[in-house]
Amino acid sequence: MVKQIDQKDVEEMMTKLKASWGWLVAFGIVSLIGGFLCFSNPLQATITADYLAAFFFILLGVAQIIQAFSIREWGGFLWTIAVGLLTLLVGAVLIGNPVAGAASLTVLVGILMFLLGGAKIAYSVSLRPVSGWVWILVSGILSVILGIIIFTNFPWAAVTVLGLFLGVELTFNGVMLLMTGWALRNQ
């Protein structure tokens, strides 16, 4: 059964959100500083992104191996262990050679840009009679262009793209947090 939200619950939630506006602004400032640091040194930001990815691969690999041992009698036990070990290996490779890891991740990002761009373009064509379909088309074309830029500038892109993407994400996140915090303060 789904609990219905009444006006009192909404008012309590808004009171709590308004009280936390300062934290949102502080997190926004920290995120903007992080974005600035990424843009000022994309190579270091790329290596940091590589280490973050490595950490998550290792964490996922360990969790998968633990999960496999919790269901030992299952027929897919060996496959689950194998996937967990491969995931750990990917994390170890990313830590052991961050520049090669960044290059591999950049290739994946480039491929993802092409695939997402193609999917958005196809989706926009299917929405063609609906207003606003052209924005999906533009987004798809931009994704394909980003993929092309990544692959045509590959040596440079391998050491900067992940850091620049991280910088863009941190900057937009910072702006969003600041705007939300200020809006809550002024409400």
- At 53-83, the pLDDT tens digits run 899 999 999 999 998 888 877 777 888 899 9
Q: Six-digit token pair at 178?
A: 């600041």
Other CB atoms within 10 Å distance of the CB of residue 32: 18
Domain count, the chain: 1
Would 7 be classed as within a structural domain?
no
Residue 132 phi/psi, 5° resolution?
A: 90, -5
Print the domain residue range for 57: 21-179
CA atoms within 13 A on the CB side of 185: 12
User: Which of 102, 83, 85 shows the shortest CA–CA distance to 94?
Assistant: 102
Q: Is residue 153 domain-resident?
A: yes
Whether residue 172 contacts residue 9, with contact meaning beta carbons closer than 8 Å, is answered with no
Is residue 8 in a domain? no
The pLDDT score that the predictor gives to residue 1 is 61
Structure confidence at residue 40 as a pLDDT band (50, 70, 90):
very high
- The four Cα atoms 55, 56, 62, 68 give a dihedral, to 10 degrees, of -170
> What is the percentage of the chain residues whose pLDDT exceeds 70?
98
Average pLDDT estimate for 18-35: 91
The pLDDT value recorded for residue 104 is 86
Cα separation, 135 vs 77, whole angstroms: 46
Average pLDDT, the chain: 87
pLDDT 10s digits, 109-150 = 889 889 999 999 998 888 887 778 888 899 889 889 988 988
Q: Tell me, what's the pLDDT at 17?
A: 78
CA distances from 37 to 121, 173, 177 (A): 34, 14, 18
Asked whether the predicted pLDDT for residue 2 surpasses 70, the reply is: no
Tell me whether residue 81 is in a domain. Answer: yes
First and final CA of the chain: distance in angstroms? 33
- Cα separation, 134 vs 128, whole angstroms: 8
In a domain, 43, yes or no: yes
In a domain, 184, yes or no: no
Residue 9 lies in a domain: no
The model carries a pTM of: 0.69
